[in-house]
């Protein structure tokens, strides 16, 4: 990590410094290694400590660094690869599904989900909440919206909510013959409920994967899955074997 001329670049100083530090993390530091203190880093790069803090905060936001109380700032491990390719996913809850059911209630979905479902105003649907873990850590939270008409034979005598109800909805959903599905990914901000489940602050950046499942010529279910943007990389292996990793040199597309 050497001296870099920061005064001549058009980007804000902290942003250019972030790029320099990111390259240094790839070449000069090991996962878990503790970075020098802020005073030494600021002196080495010839910047104010406020500029350094901005760069470090951005790297932490991007999942490159972790700040651990009593230890300092350490290099974060690589992002967890999470497959979201449609060819790897049948109905939610099918064999091999990595999601764990947490709860299920009957409620009016958000406007955006209702539109995707072509639901009537104030029409209630089954809302299944699920979580996805990796190495014992939560990496994603999902809300699965299932119209009552998609699971007409759902037993009414079972628990009205909870994991058992969620499993019943998923089991009935699998009785349908899936016509297909589509998925979209966008950047978002963690809502309070998702932030709590993902151990993040509300408003933290997340990756939102919205999926629609089709059966009998209509939308049978809609999934809105929220992934931690700081620890996850999403992989799409359906046809193009496209994989986007955290490090630019590992980016591959065929």
Tell whether 71 and 85 lie within a shared domain: no
Tell whether 113 and 239 lie within a shared domain: yes
In a domain, 153, yes or no: yes
Tell whether 229 and 106 lie within a shared domain: yes
In a domain, 6, yes or no: no
Rounded to the nearest 10 degrees, the angle between the axes of helix 49-61 and helix 13-28 is 60
In a domain, 2, yes or no: no
What pLDDT, on a 0 to 100 scale, did the predictor assign at position 219? 95
In a domain, 4, yes or no: no
CATH code for position 95: 3.40.1410.10
Tell whether 62 and 175 lie within a shared domain: no
Among 59, 75, 91, residue at a domain's last position: 75
Rounded Cα distance between 104 and 83, Å, is 24
Contacts of 148 (CB under 8 A, 6+ apart): 106, 124, 125, 126, 154
Tell whether 84 and 210 lie within a shared domain: yes
Residue segments in the chain with a per-residue pLDDT below the cut of 70: 1-10, 80-90, 156-158, 237-254
β-partners of residue 34 are 74
What pLDDT, on a 0 to 100 scale, did the predictor assign at position 7? 56
Rounded Cα distance between 230 and 64, Å, is 8
CB 234 within 8 A of CB 209: yes
Rounded Cα distance between 60 and 52, Å, is 12
Rounded Cα distance between 185 and 193, Å, is 20
* Number of domains within the chain: 2
In a domain, 238, yes or no: yes
Tell whether 56 and 24 lie within a shared domain: yes
What pLDDT, on a 0 to 100 scale, did the predictor assign at position 19? 87
What pLDDT, on a 0 to 100 scale, did the predictor assign at position 240? 39
Tell whether 146 and 21 lie within a shared domain: no
**Residue 188 sits in which domain range?**
80-250
CATH code for position 17: 1.10.10.10
CB 37 within 8 A of CB 56: no
Q: Would the CA dihedral through 146, 147, 148, 153 be positive or negative?
A: negative
3-state SS record for 149-213:
HHCCCCCCCCCCCCHHHHHHHHHHHCCCCEEEEEEEEEEEECCHHHHHHHCCCCCCEEEEEEEEE
3-state SS record for 82-147:
EECCHHHCCCCCCCCCCEEEEEEEEECCCHHHHHHHCCCCCCCEEEEEEEEEECCEEEEEEEEEEE
């Amino acid at each position: 990590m050497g001296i870099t001329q920061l005064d001549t670049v058009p980007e804000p100083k902290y942003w250019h410094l972030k790029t320099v530090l990111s390259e240094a993390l790839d070449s000069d530091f090991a996962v878990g290694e503790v970075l020098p203190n802020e005073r030494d880093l600021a002196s080495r790069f010839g910047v104010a400590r406020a500029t350094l803090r901005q760069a470090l905060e951005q790297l932490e936001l991007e999942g490159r660094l972790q700040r651990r109380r009593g230890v300092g700032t350490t290099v974060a491990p690589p992002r967890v690869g999470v497959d979201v390719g449609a060819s790897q996913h049948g109905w939610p809850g099918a064999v091999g599904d990595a999601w764990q059911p947490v709860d299920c209630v009957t409620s009016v979905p958000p406007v955006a989900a209702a539109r995707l479902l072509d639901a009537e105003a104030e029409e209630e649907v089954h809302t299944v909440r699920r979580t996805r873990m990796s190495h014992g850590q939560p990496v994603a939270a999902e809300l699965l919206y299932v119209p009552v008409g998609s699971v007409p034979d759902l037993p009414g005598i079972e628990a009205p909510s909870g994991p058992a109800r969620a499993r019943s909805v998923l089991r009935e959903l699998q009785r349908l013959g899936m016509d297909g599905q589509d998925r979209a990914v966008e950047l978002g901000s963690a809502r309070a409920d998702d932030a709590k489940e993902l151990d993040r602050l509300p408003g933290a950046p997340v990756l939102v994967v919205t999926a629609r499942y089709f059966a009998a010529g209509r939308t049978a279910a809609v999934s809105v899955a929220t992934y931690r943007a700081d620890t996850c990389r999403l992989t799409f292996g359906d046809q193009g074997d496209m994989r986007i990793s955290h490090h630019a040199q590992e980016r591959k597309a065929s």
